[in-house]
Chain A
């Protein structure tokens, strides 16, 4: 926890806007209380991600349809659903990674931090620095551990070695890699094990000091031990970051998330507090999926 605080203070130092700094602690407490007391959908007053009738098309094929959901700051939201249901499409829309695919089109609004990200004036570079992403397969660059984590800060123009050292130390500590890695930061990232690589990717995403961390099935390529470590990490990180995680592993969703969304065939079927989804789902489809009858 001390590390977390360090990280937070570091974020302050490196030019976070005053507004964000002010809002964060307030929201965190408000939201937690909301969720715990009401046990309800907890439509917090100021969601960090707010999707309003959002649809996404690959050419003429529909990716997701009319999604309306709010995601609260400093929470973990899990998105579950069968393959091809649009989970990944939705999560990748949040930092516009789908823009890489030619011929995509959106409808509706997707607001992150008060701004519609599909607005023409949005600066993609800023957006992606605010909304970090961890991919299904660990994908560290073929560079040293140090260079991997320093990639983001360097993009932001931080070249001062001491500043970089500080950020990298904090990011690695935050992703629970520091103890293993501190002596060989010069080592190639490709020489690490899969679990370590994935945590390195998380560290790399954290180094740009994002507000939101998107995780697209981060544990699907890892063994149970590494998965356990990542899950621990997620529960540590949620104090400071808004995490959206796509997962096929329902136990994992139940373990790490506070809120869970169930997608099916490009539509949001149910979005509620995790315990409710898993214990007492409102929709029949959700129940079928969770109990394994869905197929």
Chain B
């Protein structure tokens, strides 16, 4: 071959190799970049006043007075929303109005029983009030304007009746008066529709701004605070602003999503203008501010990960990983030592070797079921522990899962120790055990550490083996190794298959995944540093 061609081929090879490395880096960046970006938004984001309230109430962080002043300011701009809604509700919420009328009537009946008025008068009053109540109810429920007006006129005719002055029954007349004002300008035929849509609006408002002032603390933790993050607030606002419906375009055609401004559906009412107001004053109502929420890595979370961080998940993952390593490293190294140093090449050993190789390729879900059948249902009860998923069972399952990896890596490492080391030690009168412990093992340590790194990464990220053996999505922190724990891998799996709620907080899912990657990176870096130190010590620099 001519030298020119040889040089050219060399250069082409260099270029191709370099390009492939660059491609690999780009792919990696393309994969990790968006994930890091989205996961990072769990820590760095625009926090709203609701976020600061949540931090104060759940974790006791922040300046109480400052936050109180801030939420007071926010409430001033929010007040308009609630008053407008309240007004419309007065006209359309017939159920609530009927309830109110019945309550007043009952109260009035009780009052009557305790008065000293003559029996006939009481009976008559009762009859009249009953009539008023019935007419009021029909007015509330009716969608016929004429009928409503007639009923209201009838009731209002009792306005100056002396018998009802200063009694509870006056409340009924008051209701009628209020209603006649509220109902003005409302298309009564549409009342039911308005009522339902108003309920929707209120639900979204609870998610966006938190519970309405004056209402009782909601039982659901996620309803206690509004949108804690600005991106979530905008998402919720879009849901508030746009009415979503699925319309049929024709027979045999797929449904099509159509968005219409919600204000259109409230056309003609005072609420119509409310949506524009919310859009304009949303920043004032929520006061978003850039927030660095590093406590994400230590905080506990509310059920469903709506608020809070991934502290228990990190703890659980670390616990499981380190415990599994504690089981797998001694077993793996001893097994490898036996296979290399002691085992002769017979059929039994060959079968064992083949089994180990096969085990390395078994899908992890199989190990999960094995863990359930063996550790949870058989092993734990044998020692009197409760037969439920727990850290011990999960870490043992993970240890079994990664044992082949560990054995193979250790075996290679031990085999790679030069025979001359062993010979030298034996020639000095050392026993085989002593030779292994003092010479072979230290020399094989870098290779064994490589095995540990490989197993560590695998163990920390596995979901399927812990699915049945000790991982939970929610629950208290584990108190002992006989309690189940949350883990990052299972947590992100659970959020991926979880309900709509999880879809509202995607930053959590990405946050968990990125945390897992970072955690493995940290553990690996630690192991690699140890390995390089051992290596340097062995090489004598």
Which residues of A are interface residues toward B (Cβ below 8 A)? 95, 97, 100, 102, 124-129, 132-133, 135, 137, 139-143, 151-152, 155-156, 187-191, 201, 204-205, 208
Decide: A100 and B539 in contact? CB cutoff 8 A. Answer: no
Nearest residue (CB) in B for A139 is B420
Decide: B429 and A155 in contact? CB cutoff 8 A. Answer: yes
Partner of A125, one of B418, B429, B442: B429
Determine the chain B residues whose CB is within 8 A of the CB of A135 once the complex forms: 420, 423-424, 427
| Contact residues on B (Cβ < 8 Å of other chain), bracket | 20 to 34
Partner of A126, one of B429, B537, B538: B429
Which of B61-69, B222-230, B430-438, B465-473 faces chain A?
B430-438
Determine the chain B residues whose CB is within 8 A of the CB of A139 once the complex forms: 418, 420-421, 423-424
Decide: B427 and A95 in contact? CB cutoff 8 A. Answer: yes
Determine the chain B residues whose CB is within 8 A of the CB of A151 once the complex forms: 425, 428, 430, 438
Report B395-433 residues with CB < 8 Å from chain A CB: 418, 420-431
Min CB–CB distance A286 → chain B (angstroms): 30
Decide: B424 and A201 in contact? CB cutoff 8 A. Answer: yes
Decide: A133 and B427 in contact? CB cutoff 8 A. Answer: yes
Report B174-208 residues with CB < 8 Å from chain A CB: none
Residue B344 CB within 8 A of the other chain: yes
Min CB–CB distance B5 → chain A (angstroms): 41
Decide: B428 and A142 in contact? CB cutoff 8 A. Answer: no
Which residues of B are interface residues toward A (Cβ below 8 A)? 344, 418, 420-431, 434, 438-439, 442-443, 537-541
Determine the chain A residues whose CB is within 8 A of the CB of B434 once the complex forms: 155
A sample of 9 inter-chain contacts (CB < 8 A) reads: A97-B427, A100-B422, A124-B429, A128-B426, A132-B427, A142-B537, A142-B538, A155-B429, A208-B428
Decide: A129 and B429 in contact? CB cutoff 8 A. Answer: yes
Decide: B430 and A155 in contact? CB cutoff 8 A. Answer: yes
Residue with the greatest number of chain B CB neighbours at <10 A, chosen from A102, A125, A191, A208: A125
Closest 3 CB pairs of A and B: A188-B540, A139-B420, A190-B540
Given contacts A128-B429, A132-B428, contact A142 B539 (CB under 8 A): yes
Decide: B424 and A189 in contact? CB cutoff 8 A. Answer: no
Bound: A132/B538 CA distance, A = 25
Partner of A204, one of B420, B428, B541: B428
Nearest residue (CB) in B for A187 is B540
Bound: A37/B439 CA distance, A = 48
Decide: A100 and B423 in contact? CB cutoff 8 A. Answer: yes
Min CB–CB distance B337 → chain A (angstroms): 16
Residue with the greatest number of chain A CB neighbours at <10 A, chosen from B344, B420, B539, B540: B540
Decide: A188 and B423 in contact? CB cutoff 8 A. Answer: no
Nearest residue (CB) in B for A154 is B438
Partner of A129, one of B421, B428, B442: B428
Determine the chain B residues whose CB is within 8 A of the CB of A143 once the complex forms: 442
- Beyond A139-B424, A204-B424, 18 additional pairs, beta carbon < 8 A: A100-B422, A100-B426, A125-B430, A128-B427, A129-B428, A137-B420, A139-B418, A139-B420, A141-B425, A142-B537, A143-B442, A151-B425, A152-B429, A155-B434, A188-B537, A190-B540, A204-B428, A208-B429
Determine the chain A residues whose CB is within 8 A of the CB of B431 once the complex forms: 125
Min CB–CB distance B271 → chain A (angstroms): 81
Decide: A102 and B344 in contact? CB cutoff 8 A. Answer: yes
Residue with the greatest number of chain A CB neighbours at <10 A, chosen from B420, B429, B434, B443: B429
Bound: A24/B422 CA distance, A = 31
Bound: A100/B430 CA distance, A = 13
Min CB–CB distance A53 → chain B (angstroms): 26
Bound: A115/B467 CA distance, A = 65
Bound: A102/B541 CA distance, A = 37
Min CB–CB distance A47 → chain B (angstroms): 22
Determine the chain A residues whose CB is within 8 A of the CB of B443 once the complex forms: 141-142
Determine the chain B residues whose CB is within 8 A of the CB of A126 once the complex forms: 429
Decide: A97 and B539 in contact? CB cutoff 8 A. Answer: no
Nearest residue (CB) in B for A136 is B420
Bound: A189/B424 CA distance, A = 14
Nearest residue (CB) in A for B430 is A155
Bound: A95/B439 CA distance, A = 20
Min CB–CB distance B309 → chain A (angstroms): 45
Nearest residue (CB) in B for A127 is B429
Bound: A139/B317 CA distance, A = 44
Residue with the greatest number of chain A CB neighbours at <10 A, chosen from B427, B438, B439, B442: B427
Determine the chain B residues whose CB is within 8 A of the CB of A152 once the complex forms: 428-429
